[in-house]
Structure 1
């Protein structure tokens, strides 16, 4: 293998695939990155056997070939080289990769490419769905963080994706909160699908998807055990999670007794102030809603009390429908729910202190975030 490419392109490509490198593994090859010439471009690939990422960068190919080298060492070397052309050459006999850039020369001992696991790639199959890249990334960022991080319930470590006609429904839950986003697809699907994709895989996808891409194609591997997301320069493949996802539709409240519409930035500030005290008191923050009258608007009081350090109380104006009331929530889950919404105003819907709180963006349909209440004695 003999080729040349720009340092900035190789550095960017390595940054994309390096997140799929196995941190600790009994298979040393999983700590390597595959470099291979591929149809006039340089292909970079890494996998931990759960997620695989492949990236293509522009290169001038003189001789075809492939090799795997230690991921961290290669990334450190390339990241420290000047922003100039890099010449790469492989000594096939010793499996040593030679890199020359400006006045620097490096030799890295590698391993034969044949030992690297095969990562599924796109073929001539019709995509199960296509997504606009900006909308896909926004949706993932609004949903994936609500998935569970503990391994006790593997199904909840994933994001449920339901494909229905021209809609995609993303949902994640961890037993204490639920986030769901419904988006319109640019093209109707050929067949209804229901998948559970690891939240980590989707988080990586959101990180690497380029806004300049036309569409992101999603495909299911023939065995049905993996999902592949494809763009013109990057592929991400992930195993799917087996199991039955909770019935999301049954969890989402269909009615409310109190609905408050309030300014997102003001709510963010009030909750942040309360959080300084909530963290010392079981992370509990209380929201008390009072409807307005002829004399003025309604208001919400956000408070937290920690016996050992003190307390905080803040009030913000709100348009409140219904009887008012109060609810206690986990301050981190409340903060995450607010941060997931970008509209200037947020709607908060409640039924009672024992029922979940429902957060929705005002003026934008399709997103809902549910937080379970906390019991306060």
Structure 2
């Protein structure tokens, strides 16, 4: 293998794939990156067997070939080089990679490319669906935080991706809350299906999607064991979770008794203040909804928290209230989580009783809904 490429392109590619490098593994090759040069491109790949990331870019290739080298040493050395062309070369019969840039040279021991895990690629296969990058990134951010953080129930540590016609629906739940976001597709999905992607993997996909790209192609492998994504020069792979996701649509309450609509940013600020005090009282943040006396006084939402050793706080926010007076309490972190991921100016909270789930809906946006189980309101 021998090629020449710009230091900046090489450094950028190594940075992009670095999130898939295994930090602790009994397999040394998983701490490596695979360098694969064809006639006109260099492809760099890393995997920890949970996810894989691959980036390709143009290079002056004089001798195509493949070699696997330690990711940490190679990445750090490339990052220390000046912004000049870098020459990478390997010789037949040796696994060493030689790096030359200006007056700097290095030899990095490698591992044969054959030892690196074989990974599927989208190639020329038609994708399952093509999704807007910004839309997918936002949708992931609005659901991934609601997934379980432990693996006691594996399906809840993942995010459901449901392809139906011209709609992609993402859903995540941890037993205490449920987040659902739908996304319109420009073209119908190749087939209707549902898969469960590990939440951590989907979060990584959102982080690495390129800002300059408009769409991302998603492909579910025929055996439905892996999800592949391609956007520009980046390719991503994740294993899938085998199992059946709960019937989330049945969890979302169909009716409400009291509905309050409030400015989202004001609600979020008040919830953050209440959370400071709630930390000393099992994270309980109390919401009191009060109807107004007239059309000029539509109502209020009081956000409060108290703890014996921390004190107490209260914010009274103007709000539009439909239905009778009501009180409900939520975990303060759950409250700030949902208020942080929506962009709508106003958000509505719907509830029936203090012990039944509350439903959050951004006003004017029917694509997102979030359900949270309440907390028992007791003495501080």
Q: TM-score range by the shorter chain?
A: over 0.9
What is the match of residue 297 of structure 1? 298
Q: CA deviation at 1:65?
A: 1.2
Measure the CA separation in 2 of the matches of 1:340 and 1:353.
Answer: 24
**2:32 matched to 1:23?**
no
**2:255 matched to 1:262?**
no
Measure the CA separation in 1 of the matches of 2:369 and 2:210.
Answer: 26
Measure the CA separation in 1 of the matches of 2:44 and 2:277.
Answer: 48
Report which stretch shifted further, 57-66 or 324-333: 57-66
RMSD of aligned residue pairs (Cα, Å): 1.4
What is the match of residue 227 of structure 1? 227
Q: CA deviation at 1:293?
A: 2.1
Measure the CA separation in 2 of the matches of 1:91 and 1:38.
Answer: 16
Deviations 1:185-231 (A, max 9, x none): 11012321011111112111111112332421111223221111122
Q: CA deviation at 1:255?
A: 1.1
- Give 1:197-276 correspondences, 5 Å limit: 197-276=197-276
Alignment partner of 1:244: what SS? coil
Q: CA deviation at 1:39?
A: 4.4
Check conservation: 2:134, 2:214, Cα contact below 8 A: no
Q: CA deviation at 1:24?
A: 1.6
Report which stretch shifted further, 83-92 or 115-124: 83-92
5+ residue gaps, structure 1, are none
- Give 1:1-377 correspondences, 5 Å limit: 1-294=1-294, 296-377=297-378
Check conservation: 1:327, 1:373, Cα contact below 8 A: yes
Deviations 1:212-267 (A, max 9, x none): 32421111223221111122311111111111111101100111111111111111
5+ residue gaps, structure 2, are none
Measure the CA separation in 2 of the matches of 1:122 and 1:245.
Answer: 26
Measure the CA separation in 2 of the matches of 1:11 and 1:180.
Answer: 37
Report which stretch shifted further, 332-341 or 55-64: 55-64
Deviations 1:249-295 (A, max 9, x none): 11001111111111111111111111111111111100111111225
Q: Could you state the TM-score of these two structures normalised by the residue count of structure 2?
A: 0.96
Alignment partner of 1:127: what SS? coil
Alignment partner of 2:375: what SS? coil
Measure the CA separation in 2 of the matches of 1:38 and 1:112.
Answer: 17
Alignment partner of 2:52: what SS? strand
Measure the CA separation in 2 of the matches of 1:58 and 1:145.
Answer: 37
Measure the CA separation in 1 of the matches of 2:372 and 2:124.
Answer: 43
Moved >6 Å (runs of 4+): none
